[in-house]
Every structure is written in C-alpha cells, then in structure tokens.
Amino acid sequence: MVVVDEQDCGAAADILFVGAGELPGALDDIRAGGRADGLDIRTQVLDPAELRWYVEEALDVRAVHDEEGPADAASAMFDEEEGSAVPGAGAAGARQAGCPAAGT
C-alpha cells in the first residue's frame, strides 16, 4: 500500500507492506485516523499498470523533494541504509519491477 500526500505534490508519504488478510483492518485504521484529523482519505483500486504508474509518480515526486534538501519532516525519516526518505522505498522499487509497464 502506498500512502500519497496530496498536499505534498502527491509525494509518497509511506509505503506499507500488509498481508491480504490484514488489509481491511489496516485500511479501517488509516481511514479512522484520517477522519480524526479532519482528512478526506480515499481508496482507489487499480490494475497493475495503473498501480505502477501511480507508484512511479509518487516516488519520483518524493525523490525530487529529497534532492531539494531537508525542508520538511521527510528528512527526519531518512533511512541511511536504504538510501531513501520513504521507509521501504527500496523494497517497493524491487517489487514494482515485476509490474507491467505503465500504459500497457
């Protein structure tokens, strides 16, 4: 699951790896937390090519923000070992490589 922050240019905010059986509960928790914070959280079901496109976009925006410097809270989350400000981004990129190309 890729959590995208629309108020941060659509940058990837979090990447969560959740088992299929745990997904409904994880989504319920995220929605409840968002409502408590006054956010409108929407879920979008995508086919594999659409998912790849959205993930690439979110990670590209996050990478641009990271290149611009530590102007936001993401810099505090930087993972020296993974080389990314988004936890799990390296693993997501590896898993994403198996997805169909965007637009196919």
**pLDDT at res. 50:** 92
Report the alpha-carbon distance of residue 83 to residue 93 in Å, rounded.
12
- The distance of Cα 28 from the centroid of its chain, to the nearest Å, equals 17
Structure token pair of residue 20: 């299929």
Structure token pair of residue 47: 């086919």
**pLDDT at res. 5:** 83
Is the full-model pTM beyond 0.95? no
**pLDDT at res. 62:** 84
**pLDDT at res. 77:** 53
Q: Give the residue among 20, 19, 3 at the shortest CA–CA distance from 11.
A: 3
Low-confidence ranges of the chain (pLDDT < 70): 69-104
Residue that the structure tokens 């879920």 belong to: 43
**pLDDT at res. 94:** 47
Q: Give the residue among 91, 103, 101 at the shortest CA–CA distance from 1.
A: 91
